[in-house]
Amino acid sequence: MIDLRRVRVLRVLAERGTVTATAHALHLTPSAVSQQIRLLARDVGAELLRREGRLVRLTPAARILLEHADSLAIHWERARAEIAASADGEAGPLRLCGLSSVVAALFVPAAVELRDSHPRLRVHMSEHESADCYELLLADEADIAVVLPTPEVPPADDPRFEQWPLLDDPQDLLVPLGHRLANRRGVELVEAAGEPWIVKPFDNDTHTLLLAACAAAGFSPRIAQHAKEWFAVSALVAAGFGVCLLPRLAPIPPQHEVVRVPLRGVSTPSRRFVMCVRRGSADHPAIATGLDALRVIAERSV
């Protein structure tokens, strides 16, 4: 018999690339990860990892096992969904993960409604970058992720996941009060090409989207400041240190003297959020209820 928990460790290892990163993703020690892989190798009767210096490589046997692991995981998720439907229904934990703006604009109102309509559901929300959300799903640390499809995340046809478009979130140009563009009803992004820009760090989802939007508009932004949280970005704009792209879902502190200017033209940037679950799990009563609640909140947000 093969322990599916050990197969899950191998899947995360294939995704993360190192034992240390896998241990971090699964909240295990590196030695525990190595032990799980050794036990899985014993179960299948084949070597799964080959050490090359400080790195480890998956063997051909591991690659074959991973091909079958996707099918095993899907059948397991479907079995869990059927068991839950026959027993508890919409009960138990429901774990949501996504960006900070998603937590504030979608998860919180959905959780409030679920608290009233499905009191046996225990909703847990966590903030993570999109690439991390996919890994949390694979590690069975989350049930539903709302993510941005950036180059760093799995493609839409990845057999391990089911994904659906959820919400288009337009981005506005945020400028300080009194700025030359502040009184305009709409501007093209290229009109801000000469401005200093405030952006999020390189490892943030929105950094890639900003660079893509500016490139589509025909310029490369002159980056003046970096800030991770939207309230910090807004504060920098209010103080006159630059301009930024601000998603419509992101709130602005009322004390910040800034103006949202809508963007228009062929290069108008927008973030498309996608809902994602492990393939085979969408019919689980708790997960299906959570997906429906998020769709309702997203429609209201639009």
Report d(CA 161, CA 62) in Å as an integer: 20
- What pLDDT score does 190 carry? 94
- What pLDDT score does 140 carry? 85
pLDDT of residue 203 exceeding 70, the answer is no
- What pLDDT score does 292 carry? 95
- What pLDDT score does 1 carry? 65
Instruction: From the options 3.40.50.300, 3.40.50.720, 3.40.190.10, 1.20.120.530, give the CATH code of 168-270.
Output: 3.40.190.10
Task: Look up residue 111 and give its two tokens.
Answer: 């959780």
- Region of poorest pLDDT, from 186-190, 195-199, 210-214: 210-214
Its pTM stands at 0.78
In contact, 95 and 142? CB cutoff 8 Å: yes
- What pLDDT score does 251 carry? 86
Instruction: From the options 3.30.70.580, 3.40.190.10, 3.30.10.20, 3.30.70.1400, give the CATH code of 91-166+272-301.
Output: 3.40.190.10
Report d(CA 191, CA 184) in Å as an integer: 11
- What pLDDT score does 184 carry? 94
Report d(CA 111, CA 125) in Å as an integer: 9
Q: Domain spans of the chain?
A: 4-81, 91-166+272-301, 168-270
Report d(CA 14, CA 130) in Å as an integer: 18
Instruction: From the options 1.10.10.10, 3.20.20.480, 3.40.50.1240, 3.20.20.300, give the CATH code of 4-81.
Output: 1.10.10.10
First to last CA, the chain: 49
The 10s digit of each residue's pLDDT in 160-172 is 899 999 999 999 9
